[in-house]
Amino acid sequence: MPSIPCPQCKTNIEFNVHDIFSEKHFTCLNCNVNISLSYQENKDILKNAHEQLEALKDELDID
Ligand SMILES: [Zn+2]
Distance 22 CA to ligand 1 centre (A): 21
pLDDT average, residue stretch 12-22: 75
Global confidence as pTM? 0.49
* Concatenated DSSP letters of 21-47: HTT-EEE-TTT--EEE--HHHHHHHHH
Domain range for 30 is 3-60
Strands 25-27 and 3-5: unpaired
pLDDT average, residue stretch 36-59: 73
**pLDDT score of 47:** 76
Distance 56 CA to ligand 1 centre (A): 32
Distance 14 CA to ligand 1 centre (A): 12
The number of folded domains in the chain is 1
pLDDT average, residue stretch 9-25: 77
Reported as a single tens digit per residue, the pLDDT across 22-47 is: 767 778 889 998 877 666 666 776 67
